[in-house]
């Protein structure tokens, strides 16, 4: 026997059959054959029935990342090329053009690999050993399919250590400038692939940024945790009377100001501020807004953070609700999958009660369509964006 066969404990196959692509080490009953991290392993249920095959990594808690559920399918360069090609075509069919997520790892069938398109450049992130060992092959595929001016790798996230991988950041093909101007919806946005958030910016909020349109015309808008101004600039584009952007990063404030000028949006003002403190200060000053947007970083990055995260989310939402004009709107987001939809709505109800405001949920959105959520894999459904009408 020249390949690895992994047999699961009874009932551990159920979650994987339902679509989840990860096999954890503690779910395994026994292993037959040659164990070689980075190579293909075949996964079987306790009753010897084939479930799927994928890259093995004995260093990681995620022992196998499923690539195919067809025992005869060949996992080679052509296999990956077709996966990426199909994934990209699905985005084009949905209307994405200039900048979007080409490939969303597990959701698009290549676990541990993310590809983002920023105009003529690509930004990639590799989160698994099997992909990392084949990096040159993947770069060749991307060059063939997209002919980019440059590819930048943003594998500088700590989760790589769990795979036994070093953190890495750098140009892996062509040339990549420090700043790139992309088109997000109808706006021009200068982004930083090299040092910006995630792989350059928050592509997962593109559609939610544009969804502000019905709420902001002629209104005063407060955009908190603004990053480079995605929500605030879209509010201004959709004819908000006045937009205030807050971020604790000096660099982010500078980017907002640049992007406002780039789009001739003179009603946008950006300030360096701690959002928690500033919301309280506005309340003390009796300063109010028609629309408040909250798009904080993930307060819960692991399951044990949930209680602390709930408290943090409730605090900012409570303070925001206190400064919203009657008949105004709160747009509240969470990017932590541990803070699931039910818990997030419970927190909003809790905050509304304590703020003594009656609220109506008029929209519930998830991440943009180029970040599809794989049913059966809760981790891939992570972003919540709720709009409340505040009475």
> Are 191 and 273 in a shared domain?
yes
CA of 197: how far to CAs of 192, 200, 228, 284, 345, in Å? 8, 5, 10, 32, 26
* Among 65, 86, 80, 107, residue whose Cα is nearest residue 371: 107
pLDDT score of 137: 98
pLDDT score of 266: 97
> Are 115 and 20 in a shared domain?
no
pLDDT score of 170: 97
pLDDT score of 211: 98
Rounded Cα distance, 365 and 374, in Å: 16
Q: What is the mean pLDDT of the chain?
A: 96
Going by pLDDT thresholds of 50, 70 and 90, the confidence category of residue 299 is confident
pLDDT score of 174: 98
Lowest mean pLDDT among 97-101, 271-275, 335-339: 335-339
> Are 327 and 192 in a shared domain?
yes
**What is the mean predicted confidence (pLDDT) over 29-43?**
96
Boundary-marking domain end, from 49, 68, 87: 68
303: alpha, beta or left? (left if phi > 0; alpha if psi -120 to 50) = alpha
Is pLDDT at 12 greater than 70 in this prediction?
Answer: yes
**What is the mean predicted confidence (pLDDT) over 13-40?**
96
> Are 190 and 289 in a shared domain?
yes
pLDDT score of 386: 98
Is pLDDT at 324 greater than 70 in this prediction?
Answer: yes
Asked whether 238 and 217 are in contact (CB, 8 A), the reply is yes
Rounded Cα distance, 320 and 200, in Å: 28
> Are 287 and 386 in a shared domain?
yes
pLDDT score of 200: 82
Boundary-marking domain end, from 176, 195, 223: 176
| Parent domain of 53 | 4-68
Q: What secondary structure does DSSP assign to 317-366, as a single string? A: HHHHHHTEEEEEEEEEEE--TTS-HHHHHHHHHHHHHHTT--EEEEEEE-
**What is the mean predicted confidence (pLDDT) over 373-377?**
91
* Among 213, 247, 204, residue whose Cα is nearest residue 229: 247
**Rounded to the nearest 10 degrees, how much is the dihedral formed by the CA atoms of 185, 188, 190, 191?**
10
> Are 194 and 321 in a shared domain?
yes
pLDDT in tens, 205-232: 999 999 999 999 999 999 999 999 999 9
**What is the mean predicted confidence (pLDDT) over 110-136?**
97
Is pLDDT at 40 greater than 70 in this prediction?
Answer: yes
pLDDT score of 3: 85
Sign of CA dihedral 23, 123, 85, 173: negative
Rounded Cα distance, 362 and 359, in Å: 9
> Are 223 and 170 in a shared domain?
no
Is pLDDT at 84 greater than 90 in this prediction?
Answer: yes
For the chain, what percent of residues have pLDDT higher than 90?
93
> Are 232 and 344 in a shared domain?
yes
> Are 40 and 104 in a shared domain?
no
Give Dmax (Cα) for the chain. Answer: 74
pLDDT score of 264: 98
Task: Sheet containing 324-334: give its strands across.
Answer: 268-272, 242-247, 220-224, 289-294, 324-334, 384-390, 359-365
Going by pLDDT thresholds of 50, 70 and 90, the confidence category of residue 341 is very high
> Are 375 and 263 in a shared domain?
yes
Going by pLDDT thresholds of 50, 70 and 90, the confidence category of residue 298 is confident
Boundary-marking domain end, from 130, 153, 176: 176
> Are 329 and 353 in a shared domain?
yes
In three-state form (DSSP H/G/I as H, E/B as E, the rest C), the secondary structure along 96-111 is CCCEEEEEEHHHHCCC
Q: How many domains does the chain have?
A: 3
Asked whether 301 and 275 are in contact (CB, 8 A), the reply is no
């Amino acid at each position: 026997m020249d390949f690895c066969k992994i047999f699961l404990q009874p009932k551990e196959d159920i979650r994987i059959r339902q679509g989840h692509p990860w096999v954890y080490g503690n779910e395994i009953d026994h292993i037959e054959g040659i164990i070689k991290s980075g190579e293909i392993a075949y996964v079987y249920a306790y009753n010897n029935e084939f479930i799927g095959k994928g890259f093995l990594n004995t260093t990681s808690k995620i022992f196998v990342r499923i690539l195919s559920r067809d025992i005869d399918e060949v996992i080679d360069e052509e296999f990956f090329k077709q996966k990426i090609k199909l994934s990209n075509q699905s985005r084009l069919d949905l209307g994405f053009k200039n900048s979007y997520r080409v490939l969303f790892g597990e959701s698009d069938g290549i676990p541990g690999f993310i590809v983002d398109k920023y105009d003529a450049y690509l930004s990639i992130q590799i989160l698994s050993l099997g992909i990392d060992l084949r990096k040159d092959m993947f770069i060749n595929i991307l060059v063939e399919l997209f002919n980019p001016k440059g590819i930048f790798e943003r594998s500088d996230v700590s989760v790589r250590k769990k795979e036994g991988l070093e953190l890495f950041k750098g140009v892996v093909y062509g040339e990549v400038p420090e700043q790139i101007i992309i088109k997000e919806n109808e706006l021009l946005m200068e982004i930083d692939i090299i040092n910006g958030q995630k792989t350059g910016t928050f592509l997962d909020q593109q559609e939610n940024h544009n969804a502000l349109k019905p709420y902001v015309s002629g209104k005063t808008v407060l955009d908190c945790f603004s990053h480079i101004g995605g929500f605030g600039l879209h509010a201004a584009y959709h004819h908000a009377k006045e937009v205030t952007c807050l971020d604790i990063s000096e660099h982010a404030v500078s980017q907002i100001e640049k992007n406002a000028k780039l789009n001739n949006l003179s009603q946008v003002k950006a300030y360096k501020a701690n959002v928690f403190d500033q919301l309280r200060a506005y309340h003390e000053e009796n300063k109010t807004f028609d629309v408040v947007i909250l798009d904080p970083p993930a307060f819960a990055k692991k399951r044990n953070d949930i209680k602390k995260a709930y408290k943090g989310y409730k605090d900012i939402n409570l303070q925001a609700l206190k400064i919203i004009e009657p008949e105004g709107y709160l747009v509240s987001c969470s990017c932590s999958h541990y803070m699931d939809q039910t818990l997030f709505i419970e927190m909003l109800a809790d905050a509304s009660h304590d703020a003594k405001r009656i609220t109506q949920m008029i929209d519930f959105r998830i991440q943009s369509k180029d970040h599809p959520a794989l049913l059966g894999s809760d981790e891939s459904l992570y972003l919540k964006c709720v709009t409340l009408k505040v009475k």
